[in-house]
Chain A
Amino acid sequence: MTPVPIPAGRVKTLKIDGRDVSGYENQTILEIARENNIHIPTLCNLEGLDDIGACRLCLVEIKGLARLLPACVTRVQEGMEVLTDTERLRRHRRMVIELLLSERNHVCAVCVSNGHCELQSLAQTLGVNHVHVPYRYPRMAVDATHGRFGVDHNRCILCTRCVRVCDQIEGAHTWDVAGRGVEAMIISDLKQDWGASATCTSCGKCVQVCPTGALFVKGKAVGEMTKQREFLPYLTLMREGEK
């Protein structure tokens, strides 16, 4: 793991899954868990981007609290007792994956990201071998108007990593979300063709951060779309240095 600049602040000690750990007060439960090799599944989180707590995979139990809290945005507190892998959490996480798989058309066998897909690998590690909820099979578009990249909305899980990397790292804000509920869609500019976008710099960062095969480089066959994400922590580190 890349070295993180040391955040200022007071040190807190807490328990995660029974282990005594410590962290700075402005660090999140997820960061501290990762430092200690405690694995919490995530999807909308990506190191280097602001967290939005949207996928709900990282929910953890906190002793004395009825509510479940997302580890990616919850700051550590003194004496906190965190449980990351209870039966209830595992059940909820499996359901999150089932909901995502049923929402659009995730047909791994014909997907460019088959074998390199975060949704697919989460389904495997979390033990989702059957989808109990009704599939929606919506009709979704594919936008192949961009010269080098394409977006296949059938595979999009609305994690908004592309939106955030484009806004927060590239500074272009080409992507955003339109519509609400299951009708929500990732759009480029004001819902124009990607190829016609006046703001897109064709940097390809969105493609690299997309966890599934929704954003892809053209010309890849099934299973060929691997993604490079190392640039993100590197870029963040360089920016910190400039400050």
Chain B
Amino acid sequence: MHITRERLIVYGGVLFFALLPPVASFFGEHYLISLFTRAMIYALAAVSLDLLLGYGKMISLGHAAFVGIGAYVVGIMFFHAADDSLLFGFIGGSENALVVWPAAVLVSAMGALVIGALSLRTSGMHFIMITLAFAQMLFYFAVGLETYGGDDGLPMWNRNRLAGLDLADKLHFYYVCFFLMSVFIFCCTRLVRSRFGLVLRGASTNTRRIRALGVHDVSYKLVCFVIAGAGAGLAGALLANQSEFVSPGLLHWGLSGELMVMVLLGGLGTLFGPVLGAVLFLLLEEFLAIYTEHWMVYFGPVLIIVVLTTKRGIYGLLVGGGGNRGG
């Protein structure tokens, strides 16, 4: 098999993530395991956003909405399991990951279907504003959810249960996140090269032509929006478990912006780039924050330079020739 630079980097990345826990444990740096768990969860969300930004050319500033929905599904189900009450009077709570996580994905996807269907009636600047508006609406809705902690958020006393594993265990949870992130990215690499992906990329580069060829471009964009929302929902479910806490902050546009930064920094339209972006973002946040709480002041210029001087972010630089668009 021909080993391209891109393959090398991807295999290297997989190896890195797979070996990080034992190496970190060996050196006694256990906190790295949770740091990278968080990085992988953010990466999952950022990759899903890359589907929107890089492949669908849909500039959404409300992607956190779906992360938040996913997280709240987990939190609310936990809440009702804990005090043995019913949601809407008929849905029982659950702590079982095999129930709650798919539910989080499903509800996020349904949310994306509704928000996407309405937002895609517009385009360009209006699309950006309307996705932002929906996310902020959900944010304030969550703030108003007094039953579930409102402003203060909703604590979970323990993580979800997953048969045969102990998610409270750092290592178990790390590898579950690693597995889910990898599966999601692999599916995305297939997706962007599939018939759907090709039509989507066409629809996002030239609307006039794709319509003249017989394609209703909006349906393809909507399906992309729903898939991205589902991915973000999964990330939200994992994030809720990671921090054992759910709060309106997860729906805030600040998170949408951070995810967008991860995508741009790592490499727009590369799928693997956003993983790099997420890791770098969290590392910088972690270590620059030691020196100054205004770490964004230093990070901002770095981001601007990367975006202005590279075509496909840091991933594009590493791969050379601008990186992969799936073709």
Q: Note whether A and B form a binding pair.
A: no
Residues of B within 8 A of A (CB): none
Residues of A within 8 A of B (CB): none
